[in-house]
Amino acid sequence: MNVVVIGSGGREHAIAWKLSQSPSVSKVVCIPGNGGTAMEDKCVNISLGSDSYVDIAKREGCTLAVIGPEDPLADGLADQFWEAGIPTVGPKRKSAQLEASKDHAKQFMQKYGVACAESRTFTDTYEAIDYVQKKGAPIVVKADGLAAGKGVVVAQTLEEAQEAILDLMENKRVGSAGTTVVIEDYLRGVEVSVLAAVSVEPGKKESACIVPFKCARDHKRLGEKATGPNTGGMGAICPVEDFTADIEAQFKKTILEPTLNGFIKEGYDYRGFIFFGLMLTKDGPKCLEYNVRLGDPETQAVLPLMQSDFAELCTAITNGSLKDFKLEWKNEFAVSPVAVSGGYPREYQKGYNISVGVDAIKAAGAKLFIAGAITDRRATHPTEQIATLVTSGGRVLACTATAPTFQEAWDNAYKAMHAIRFQSMYYRKDIGLPGAAEST
């Protein structure tokens, strides 16, 4: 079959790569894709242009769609694909609001008893400031809408909280996404991410299920030892030793099962992936947020450990057979540091040539996942393409290595990273090490 993958980041490169490994997949059409998907076996990049996603998918004979990012999901792209007769991995618009609106997500969690932090939502700036003055600090201020990972401030002081509220609501730092804010109690603990497959179709309660993947951890802070500004993610590991069997059982009982119950009761058509952002507290795991898709960069660490056929998993999600799907994993560890452009997450330059030591990366047994890089159009010889990547974004790429031990995976991931060069390249050298994960 031919599959269309929507998106252009490292997550979408990992998805396309994993799909291409399936014997049942003939072609993976990436819209628009990136410099990494351009070089994957079976993959082809197509720019959106004047044609719609659905038009391109039909023209290319695609019988399955996988939507990577949150924006097209919130805009109802899954609905459009289903209406065109193309089964789609990605929730329809109604259920995608769980990520598009943090207020909506918090109301859902409270309604169905999902373990989470207490919160209030505000549309008036000074009511919000009055509330934080009464509650005290530390406290968490979140933009209600989609803000590309830039809408959350963990304020350690009242001054920081007030500044965050004014910045979001009055100065509109993240545009209209911040005109409404959600203010949450501060939770103490350490964060983890649980990605999962979801198959919930209205009126089909018997087949409804959420199947969790191995637990991962993203490292959000720019600097080592969890310092500096928040980013979209500086690297990920999988699995996570903090996520014990006991905590996993608590997560399923207090978060996953109530979430599934809510999906059924609300009549959601949710056939896709979900990301549970969790805080592991002394009182058990608490749900910080839902993302209605796979995480980035967690996907680049999780999918290389998946033993099962990813295309078959996607098909099971769409046709209601996920409950019977046997999801299998390698008994290994994955480490995936991310390289970014100098200046990220603020201003940075684009267009730098990327030098890739292909032999060194192969020797390390690592996989390169491209995020913010494209192929130089002047390149004409296919064998030279790996050397003609140029930077096009803040987070440029990730190097993922898997191995039977964490240390071996870590060593190999960084050996691979050492074989890559571009101007102003920066990466953390402590992903997965003690003290690297932010704790509160």
Q: In sequence order, which residues have a C-beta less than 8 Å from that of residue 125 and are 6 or more positions away?
A: 165, 166, 169, 170
Tokens, residue 139: 């406290």
Question: Residue 277: helix, strand or coil by DSSP?
Answer: strand
What does DSSP assign to residue 355?
Answer: E
The answer to whether residues 188 and 281 touch, using CB atoms and an 8 Å cutoff, is yes
The residue-averaged pLDDT of 46-57 equals 94
282: Cα within 13 Å, side-chain hemisphere: 2
How many C-beta neighbours within 10 Å does residue 76 have? Answer: 14
pLDDT at 387: 45
Look at residue 377 in the predicted model and tell me its pLDDT. Answer: 59
d(CA 301, CA 335): 6
Q: Given this model, what pLDDT does residue 378 score?
A: 53
H/E stretch holding 334? strand 333-341
In what helix (H) or strand (E) does residue 204 lie, and over which residues does it extend?
Answer: none
Above 60 in pLDDT, residue 366? yes
Q: Band of the pLDDT at 148, cuts 50, 70, 90?
A: confident
Taking the CA atoms of 148, 276, 113 and 207 in sequence, report the sign of the dihedral they define: positive
**Residue 158 to residues 99, 118, 130, 151, 164, Cα–Cα distance (Å):** 27, 18, 10, 18, 10
| 325, 326, 332, 336: CA torsion to nearest 10 | 0
Which secondary-structure segment (H or E) carries 396? strand 395-403
More confident of the two residues 232 and 57: 57
User: Cβ distance 194 to 213 under 8 Å?
Assistant: yes
Tens of pLDDT, residues 233-289:
999 999 999 999 999 999 999 999 999 999 999 999 999 999 999 999 999 999 999
Cα–Cα dist 125/168, whole Å = 9
How crowded is the C-beta side of 392, counted as CA atoms within 13 Å? 17
- The pLDDT-based confidence of 348 (bands split at 50, 70, 90) is very high
CA distances (Å), origin 280, targets 204, 250, 283, 288, 386: 33, 10, 8, 10, 41
386 pLDDT above the threshold of 70:
no
Banded model confidence at residue 151, pLDDT cuts 50, 70, 90: confident
Per DSSP, the three-state class of 238 is strand
**Per-residue model confidence as pLDDT tens digits over 162-209:** 999 999 999 998 899 899 999 999 999 999 999 999 999 999 999 999
What confidence tens digit (pLDDT) does each residue in 390-426 have?
Answer: 999 999 999 999 999 999 999 999 999 999 999 999 9
What's the chain's Rg over C-alpha atoms?
21
Answer for the pair 178, 172: CB distance below 8 angstroms, yes or no: yes
**Does the pLDDT of residue 432 top 80, yes or no?**
yes
Q: What is the pLDDT of residue 380?
A: 44
Mean pLDDT of 111-115: 98
- The C-alpha atoms of residue 144 and residue 230 are separated, in whole angstroms, by 18
- Asked if the model's pLDDT at residue 291 lies above 50, the reply is yes
Tell me how far apart the alpha carbons of residues 375 and 357 are, in angstroms, rounded to a whole number. Answer: 16
DSSP 130-189: HHHHHH-SSEEEEESS--TT-SEEEESSHHHHHHHHHHHHTS-TTGGGGSSEEEEE---S
Confidence grade of residue 152 (pLDDT, cut at 50, 70, 90): confident
Residue identified by tokens 């994957």 is 40
